């Protein structure tokens, strides 16, 4: 079963900024970043309850090989997942669950 996945405006912005940075570094690096994020999203959408809740209904998925955590919210009744953050682990963790 795969759930519908929607990105919050903040998650879209965080992803785009990270994509742009990796693209400036090296083409192959941005390709790896995209592939890794895509694999993480497939895992989240196919098994939305795989990772434990960290705060309220929010879960965290560690992105392999890159310093990011994807913070999502699974809405079981709607069979949907809201991607709240593509959070760089170098940032202050107190902002991990903030919504703008």
How sure is the predictor about 1, in pLDDT bands with cuts at 50, 70 and 90?
low
Distance CA 63, CA 36 (A): 7
- pLDDT for 62-100, tens place per residue? 999 999 999 999 998 998 999 999 999 988 777 776 665
pTM: 0.86
Q: What is the dihedral of CA 96, 2, 20, 62, to 10 degrees?
A: 40
User: What whole-number percentage of the chain has pLDDT above 70?
Assistant: 95
Tell me what pLDDT residue 100 has.
57
Distance CA 80, CA 63 (A): 20
């Amino acid at each position: 079963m795969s759930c519908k996945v929607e990105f919050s405006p903040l998650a879209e912005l965080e992803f785009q900024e990270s994509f742009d940075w990796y693209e400036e570094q090296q083409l192959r690096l941005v390709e790896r970043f995209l592939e890794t994020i895509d694999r993480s999203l497939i895992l989240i959408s196919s098994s939305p309850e795989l990772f434990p809740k960290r705060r309220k209904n929010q879960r965290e998925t560690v992105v392999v090989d890159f310093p990011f955590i994807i913070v999502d919210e699974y809405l079981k009744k709607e069979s949907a997942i809201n991607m709240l953050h593509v959070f760089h682990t170098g940032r202050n963790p107190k902002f991990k669950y903030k919504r703008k």
